[in-house]
Amino acid sequence: MSPVALLNPAVNAAYRAVYGVATGLAPVVGDAGFALSIVLFTLAVRLLLHPLARAQSRSAARARSARAALAPELAKLRRRHRDDPVQLNRATVDLYRRHGISPLAGFLPLVAQFPVFALMYRLFSARTVGGRANLLLGHGIAGVPLGSSLRGVLAAGAFTHLAVFAVLVLIVAAIARWWSVQTGALTESAAAVGEPNPLGPVARWLPYGTILTVAFMPLAAGVYVATTTLWTVAERAVLARTGVS
């Protein structure tokens, strides 16, 4: 059985829940109820995952504080091994190990969330669910089907649908820009205390990958990505303000 197939029962259950909410909203808000159900379901799932996000933030904050305390020793190691990057890396890892600092601090709670994100993404992008057509994708926003993509709209010459995608792209791009700036600031502050960053300068460009989702995946997946990334930005801001991160 493939890893994707393992998600089938959960995807089917989530599909029934979202579709039930959508049909309940339809008499009130019309066809937009299906897009609204995606937003509401995404927010509900992210709220359930919030304790994991707090645990990740606390773990990462403790690791940052510990590494900052070791800044003088790290500076000595960099001077001692300035001509030998391999030995510098080994010495740094050894220093962290002696002080009980794990390079994976903060990552385990994040990894625990991946199956949920994979489920959500599949639910809002798959053309079929449980061997049947994904009816969520047959409804739309302002006449634009949730199953359509920007690439498909351009190929079909349905330029009247571009406004919906343009608004979504602008929202996701604004979120990605904010996220990129924050990532850059964290990377610079980490570098100042000698904290390793395996992704290097690539880290600040990763948030822009969400724009590709809006461009190439169904509109439903774009609504999900916009909602979940907006939640992430707001969540991080709240955690930082309350001193958790």
Q: Kindly report, residue by residue over 172-212, the tens digit of the pLDDT.
A: 899 888 878 877 666 665 555 555 555 556 667 777 888 88
User: Which pTM was predicted?
Assistant: 0.76
**pLDDT of residue 36 exceeding 80:** yes
Confidence of residue 86 (pLDDT cuts 50, 70, 90): confident
Which whole number is the average pLDDT over 30-39? 91
Structural tokens at position 28: 């009130």
**pLDDT of residue 239 exceeding 80:** yes
pLDDT averaged over every residue in the chain: 81
Confidence of residue 31 (pLDDT cuts 50, 70, 90): confident
Query: Which pLDDT value is given to residue 109?
Result: 55
Residue tagged 């999900």 (tokens): 224
Q: What percent of the chain has pLDDT over 90?
A: 11
